[in-house]
Structure formats: structure tokens, C-alpha cells
Structure 1
């Protein structure tokens, strides 16, 4: 497998870093002034990701920051991978990760061109950039490399997040105007599904509505209260007994009462205490610290975070002195947003005719299949009856079932077998095939896992 290794700070597979290059990158690359000044070619040249001409796995890419709020100097980080195939016509996907996650989690752990083990970068053969222009964008300042210089710049709701992301998307298409007619899709994983839907709604209600074609939601955590039912689910898979089941039932009842009373801040905090972390109700009752897989309680590989601390890598990505944020400040400001549902937004987008692909994993705990089915069945949209009556199709992975597809009109739901909260990790080839079919507009009757 093609890989490269950083052996010393200042060296990258034998390419020595030019000190002037590092000096130029000592400050984060803010592209907005260049874009507003009409210096597009200069902005693209400076955003180009390379080290003395070397490109990671020969992928053309660009990174930097867009200023999304001048009053508070709020800036969102992005890393754009140019499509490998059909560059002039391939669609654009703006992709964002989950709750506290940097957009780079999606790139390195799920569907980007590289994964990191130790200080070795490995080529990912099922990278989405092969069939679309992938733009990994942090969905809130204070997450990843994105930052604000005023506490008032931290967003407290999806409307604010969508406004910042919309500003970034508009600037992206000013930087790469040749992509504007290719079709735009928004992708969001887990809690990032909220941001994807909110941004879609913002674009729909703007002069740029013609850009948007659809939304990809991977294991979406978009209706946290409606998706609860953890007592029933965990009991059904053998993780709860009668007594521990009552703990979840009482906690969920209390959360629903808080929501009914309009106390979204406390309800959001209690959802977190129920299912996330070592002190959660989930951990105390089942021994499972994570909520991503109800069979294996294994953490994600996060070696890429250490890779981001290497000077040469930071110089390539133009992040300057900025360090990856733990996201705690941004998350604290969004406490009241956790329990709020964005299903009305999803309903509006479906009614407007936008294409939506939702995926789930059979072994997912936090966004488990029964909860996603309840969410889908409760949606109020013109295709509600048709989707409910649609026959589920088995998609074969060789000689064995690999996924189940339910689709009607502009909504499709795919459940990946033997997968969890991040289907791209367990079923990379299958997810690749489904998302490629979706973005290419292949009729669902012709979808397969190949």
C-alpha cells in the first residue's frame, strides 16, 4: 500500500521544507480579502495544498479559511479535494462531521483520500473525491481549526451555524466559479446532519437555490428526542436488564417533560449524560463507554490529530499557528440546540423536491435502525404514503446480503449490514457505491453495492 512517513519535523519523505514557505504560512491563510479583492488566481495559488510541489497521493486540493463574520472575526476552515474523474461535470459535496468533530474527522476516518496510522498516511481507495468535488467544511467556529476572536462569535443554534456555512459556500463558489453549474450536495454525519439540513434550508431560501440538488445524511442525529427509545432498543439487543431498563425509561420521560416545558438547555445536557461518556447512564448500565456500536465498544483511530501537529503538514494546510480545538466552547454554546429537532426542515426539503439519501448501520447504538425508521415514518411530506408502502430491496454483497434499500420518489434509506455509526469504516466499498449512485443520479432501481 502506498504510504509515506514523516521521519523528522521539517522533513516529509525526503522533501526539505523551504523556510520562506513556513514563514508565509506562519499565519493562517484567510482567503476572504483576496476573494473580495478579485484576486482569485492568487487566492487559489496560495490555497494549493502541496509541499514543494509534492501532493499527497497526487490529489489536487486546496485549504484555508473563509471569514464568515467580520464583526467577530469568525473563520471557517475547509479542505477541498478536486474530483479525480469528470472534473468539469462532477457534482460538489460540502461535507461536515458530527458533534465535537472537525471536518477532518470525515476526511481521515470516513471518506477522504487518506487515513493516518501513527505518522504514516495511507491511500484510501474508496475516497469520495473520485466521483465528486469534496469540500470538508467545519460546521461551527470553535471546532477543528475554525475560530473566532470574540466569544459572541460562537453560534447557539442551527440558524447561526447555517448562516456561517452559507457565507463559506458562497465564497467557495467565488473561488471556484467553474464548479457552480455542477450541482451541489450537502453531506452530514451524525449531529452534522443537522448542519447539512439547516444549510440546505438556508440555500433553498436564497438567490443561490438553483445550486442545491440534494442532501446525504449518514446515521443522522437530527431528532434526538424522537430518536430516543433507548430502553426498548438496548433491552432488545440484550444490553439491559429489567432494573437498568427502568433507569432509561425514567430518564427519557424526564427529558420529554423538559422539552415540553421549553427547557432545551437542560434537556440537551441530560441527553448527553444519558448516552455519552464514561459517566453516562449508558456506561453505568452496560459498560459501553461509546455509543457508536452495540457489539464492539472500540474508539475511533485518531492518529490524524497528532499528524496535524507536524510543522510540514500544518504548512501544507495553511493553518498557521492555529491548533485543533477540542470543541468544548462551541459545544457549550450549543447546549440548547441538542434536543431541538430539524425534521420540519427535512420535511420542507423533501416537499420542495430535493433528493435525500439517508444511511444507517445495523450495529449503530445512538442512531439505531428502529429509531431511524420511526423518524422516517413520522415525516410529513407528499411521499409519506408511497414511502411507507415501498418494498424493501436487498442489495447483495457478493453471495451475501450487504444492505437494504427503501426508496420512494426523492427519498432513499439504506441500512448497511454489519455496520455501525460510521458505515464508511465497516463497509467502505458499499457506501462508496451507494453515494456514487446517488450523486450521479442513477435510478434507485439500478442501485447496487458494486
Structure 2
């Protein structure tokens, strides 16, 4: 989903199996894992769940839309405009002074793909870092983060815009991209442009960044950071590796990559899927008898993930179905508990209502301001989601050690009340990662992350690697703890996660 896995609960609807049917069947065939004959994959089921989430567009992906305003973009071309959204206060800060930009980029290695992005210049100083935010899903729009998490403004109940006092544009030049193709306002007229793996996703983003910095040379020397959450736990390491490889090979413009941050992400599924039952038991969501029974599924899940890493598409689809039965089994027990924040109950089938964003982006005045014409906005694309299912169980941790060895920083942070990408699973893969500083990181002390004199989280750090467990937050840390999230970003990009005084945030504004 957008900042989270909007579709993980699909297993219950798509496989249509008893909770533990897969455990017995899969364990009975250790040599090979096959999908049950009656298992199906998300399609109508996904649309039903998205509709309950108040995010269902007219089409399941941005395919076949007209070019905005009839504009034809040549491959590799970027067209951008300054914009000011209706309903936004004209009071300080002035949008005309700040510079808010919307644009389309015609992806060169595609048949007809057009990538939509929004760029917000820093409210503080243009020399601030350039930070790109990638929303997960897979297939959910970055506009969800803009209007509900860390963007410059949010949508009020009366459909007006309210400035966000803790928008990340207060300490960075902030870039949001609707990706992969078919997400948000990004679109194509050719279904061959839909991506299926991280190579396709990261190459498209790399091509975009090359042209973005060509069009904005004043930001080329700024520090560059990659951020995001949820399924972006796949996107972010892949993009970091692609940029690092391009820099080493002297491809095009050198991107000044300094670090990447993953929030409540899915990065190493083999480790993180085991953590589901442990987290649920630790937090009283399931009983010990439930824990023992559900854990019988895990060996089949683990084997399927290993096969996915070596055997390709069929085994990756099998691992998706088998492993998600673990999560599905927990959900059958906990019922209406919000799996993005276990302190809460779900509101509707998918726990949150972001429909005001959808309504706002459907207003003609807003579309005219953004330059998107009649392109259908896709909050969360079922087409993209299904296409990326073969990528789901891939381990993206494997490329991270090489980045750490070259001094590129990694921050993994997680809200403590999220079940779906819980802090326990994230902590485990970070601690398990093999790199030269592993032992020092493992033995390093946990220290409080202080904000306004109070503990807002628990931090562990050594060299370029940091892990932060954020208090009083669920899956979407910037939404639940906006001030702490902004201060986290500011300190991390300034190399001051541990020893920065908590009052320094105000001085940066």
C-alpha cells in the first residue's frame, strides 16, 4: 500500500483456504512447493478491499490514459511546471518563493511510460539535502505520504489544505515519485511497461534522477538521501545499489548519495516472516497454543523463500501464498485489530480512511494545477501489485553490506505498534546482516532518542548503520509521530542521531 502493504490481507480472499491447510500440504512435499489447485491471485479481491479503503479508482492501473493536455513527450524528456494548489493559504511561507514543482518524465527504456513526480524546495535553505521518498504497496501513490505523512501540507475535512508544521521539506528538498509505472498519476499506453522486479524499478528511478539533476543542476552537489516505507524496503536498497553502481562506473551525472532510510519495511522476508508469530505472542495478540500451531507453517515458508531465490517465478508465487498464510492465520485470531497499529481497531476493511485525498485530487482545479489533465489517479494499483508478486519474497538485504562498507549510511526505523512490518523482524535482519562492523553494532548499547527532554525511541548505532525503534507509533511513523520523524531525519542527515540536542530542530527552521 501506499506507505504500507495495502494488500497483504489479500491472502484470506485470494487463496480461500482454511488457516492451516497450507501448513500440512506444504510440509508433506519438501522437494517441491506447488500452489493449491483452488488458489487464485488478487484481482477482484484486491478491488473489493481497495473499495472498502475508499481508494478504488475507475481503472486498476494507469494504462491507456491520454497524455496530459495532449502533450507528447519524447523518450528521455522531462516536462515540469511550478504549481500552487487551490485551497492552500497564501500566507507565509509563500509557494512562489519556495518553489513547488510537478512534472512528467518519459522513461527512455520503455514503450510509452510516463513517470509523475512532485518536488518541494526546502522551506529552510536550498543547500539542504535532496531527499526522495518512495511509497510502497507495491503500486501505491506517493501522494498518500504527501497528504498524510511528511509532505508540506495535509487535506482538512473541508477539503482545504493546511500547512504541515513537521513536513520534511522543513529540513530537505523533498522529491516524491509515483512509481512503478501504473502507480498514482504515472501511466503508460503499453502494458509491456509494467515492471516485475527491482532491476526494472531501480533502472527507471535511476534514469529519472539523471534527468532530474540535469534539469536542476543547482542541486547536483547537495547530499542525496533515499527514504520510504513498507514495500519500499525492497525499492530503497535496490535504488541505492543502482546509484552506487552508476557512480562507480561514471555513468552520467554523479548522484551525491550519502544514505538511505527504511521505515517499517519489508527487506529480508525469510527473517521477517518468522517474526510475525513472535511479535504477536509478545504483544498478547495470540496465545502460546496459537503460536505453536501457526509456526508449523514457517518451515514450508522458509523453503519456498529459498526456492524463490534460486528457481524463479513459480516458486516466488508459491512462497507468496505459503508465507502469507502465517499473517492470515494471525489475522483470523485477532479480528478487527488494526494490523498497522495494534492499539487501534480497524475502520473498514483496511483500517484507515484516506478518501479526502482521492476527492481532492479528483477536483479539476487541482488537476489543472498539477498539469495531469484527465489521467486517472490510481491510489493503489492492483495491476502493479500483481506484477510485483514475483518480487515479494526476494531478499534485498543482500546488496546492503557493500554499501555500508563504502560508507553509505543506513537508518532502519520502525514504529513499535506495527504488526505488518514490525520492529522485531526489522531489528532481527539488521542485527543478522553480515558486514565488517556487525559485531560492533550488535554489542553497541541502546540509547534513548530524546525529543523535548522525553524518550521518543530507542536507538542503536555503529558506524554507518543505525536502528531506531520509535515509541507511540504504528506503521506510518511520520503520521503518528510527525515531530519525532522530522527530528530523526534532520539529525540523521546531519550525522547527529546520537548526540544532537533535541532543541536544535527549531533552529533549523
Which TM-score applies when normalising by structure 1? 0.85
Report whether the alignment pairs 1:68 with 2:116.
Answer: no
C-alpha distance 400-178 of structure 1, shift in aligned 2 (>3 A): closer
Aligned equivalents of 1:30, 1:393: Cα separation in 2: 54
Aligned equivalents of 1:398, 1:128: Cα separation in 2: 19
Worse-matched range after superposition: 76-85 or 113-122? 113-122
C-alpha distance 363-378 of structure 1, shift in aligned 2 (>3 A): same
Q: Which gives a bigger RCO, structure 1 or 2 (Cα 8 Å, sep 6+)? A: 2
Report whether the alignment pairs 1:251 with 2:297.
Answer: yes
Matched with 1:304 is 357
Residue correspondence of structure 1 range 31-430 to structure 2 within 5 A:
33=74, 36=77, 43-44=79-80, 47-50=81-84, 58-59=94-95, 60-69=99-108, 71-87=110-126, 89-99=127-137, 100-118=139-157, 119-206=159-246, 207=250, 208-229=253-274, 230-262=276-308, 263-272=315-324, 274-275=326-327, 280-288=328-336, 290-298=338-346, 299-302=351-354, 303-325=356-378, 326-398=380-452, 400-430=454-484
2:152–2:167 contact (8 Å) kept in structure 1: yes
1:248–1:281 contact (8 Å) kept in structure 2: yes
What's the CA shift string for 1:128-151, capped at 9, x where partnerless?
Answer: 111111000123011111112211
Aligned equivalents of 2:72, 2:482: Cα separation in 1: 33
Matched with 2:47 is none
1:32–1:171 contact (8 Å) kept in structure 2: no
Aligned equivalents of 1:79, 1:189: Cα separation in 2: 18
Matched with 2:68 is 27
C-alpha distance 397-92 of structure 1, shift in aligned 2 (>3 A): closer
Q: Give the aligned CA root-mean-square deviation in angstroms.
A: 2.5
What's the CA shift string for 1:148-190, capped at 9, x where partnerless?
Answer: 2211111110011001111111111122111101121111211
Matched residues, number = 414
C-alpha distance 106-181 of structure 1, shift in aligned 2 (>3 A): same
Worse-matched range after superposition: 116-125 or 296-305? 296-305
How many Å apart are 1:102 and its aligned residue? Answer: 0.4
Aligned equivalents of 2:85, 2:278: Cα separation in 1: 53
1:269–1:335 contact (8 Å) kept in structure 2: no
Can you give the 5+ residue segments of structure 1 that lack an aligned partner in the other structure?
A: 1-24
Worse-matched range after superposition: 207-216 or 385-394? 207-216
SS in 2 for 1:193: helix
How many Å apart are 1:273 and its aligned residue? Answer: 5.1
How many Å apart are 1:349 and its aligned residue? Answer: 1.2
How many Å apart are 1:210 and its aligned residue? Answer: 4.7
1:266–1:336 contact (8 Å) kept in structure 2: no
Aligned equivalents of 2:256, 2:68: Cα separation in 1: 33
SS in 2 for 1:227: helix
Worse-matched range after superposition: 210-219 or 173-182? 210-219
C-alpha distance 286-128 of structure 1, shift in aligned 2 (>3 A): same
Worse-matched range after superposition: 68-77 or 331-340? 68-77
2:109–2:204 contact (8 Å) kept in structure 1: no
1:188–1:194 contact (8 Å) kept in structure 2: no
How many Å apart are 1:70 and its aligned residue? Answer: 5.5
C-alpha distance 73-220 of structure 1, shift in aligned 2 (>3 A): same
Aligned equivalents of 1:176, 1:30: Cα separation in 2: 22
SS in 2 for 1:294: coil
- Choose from 417, 440, 444 the match for 2:494: 440
